[in-house]
Amino acid sequence: MLLLVFAFVGVEVALVPSGEVKDPARTVPRRHRPGAGLTTLLYLAIQAVAQGVLGADMAARRGPLAAAAARFLGEGGRLLVLLGGAVSMFGTSAGTC
């Protein structure tokens, strides 16, 4: 559940600078919808790749994205995914405080 919160927390953070935008009532929705759509497609693609790489074994994994990265990129890929997730979550936490 915690990872799901981090996945979708950026929606409201992206709206913070909307007070500085010319005509925010027009501009913000026009840019928010494609951004949300692209994010959804990206998450679906990541899910499909992880499911394709790990198969039914995905549910039993503790870190399924890291395990999928380890399968096709080796140990360095696993570490890269874990480090990227840690940096991303730290950045989100630091930016919203």
Q: Domain boundaries in the chain?
A: 51-97
CA distance 57 to 28: 41
* Residue type at 37 in one-letter notation: G
pLDDT at residue 41, rounded to an integer: 92
Instruction: Identify residue 92 by its one-letter amino acid code.
Output: T
28 exposure class (CB count in 10 Å sphere: 0-12, 13-18, 19+): middle
pLDDT of residue 83: 94
Ranges of residues in the chain whose predicted pLDDT is under 50: none
Instruction: Note if the pTM is more than 0.85.
Output: no
pLDDT of residue 85: 87
Q: Which of 3, 1, 18 is nearest to 92 (CA)?
A: 3
The pLDDT, as a whole number, for residue 33 is: 82
Dist CA 13 CA 20 (whole Å): 14
Q: What is the pLDDT of residue 80?
A: 94
